[in-house]
Amino acid sequence: MTVPDGPASLLPPATYDVVWTLVVGGALVLAVLALVGWGRRRDASLTHLLWFFGILAFPIAGPVVYLVVARHSSAPER
């Protein structure tokens, strides 16, 4: 195993690399949560299919809106 030469190899990653990684990781987590929730619902309507495409088409807003709206629409009324 070789060690890279120079002091630059010992520096932490740039801030934008860390932020970008967190944003992409967060978007993936949101998408997985939304798709799991979407898959658990037993609905055969066109709206259900449109939610699927909305989750995939809008990587951050789609899952957030789905999780907020779907949880409220599927919650039993008291």
pLDDT tens-digit readout, 16-70:
888 889 999 999 999 999 999 888 888 788 888 898 999 999 988 999 999 899 8
pTM: 0.69
Cα 21 to Cα 31, 36, 61, 69: the distances in Å are 15, 22, 18, 27
- pLDDT value at residue 9: 66
pLDDT at 1 over 90: no
The Cα 30–Cα 63 span in angstroms is 6
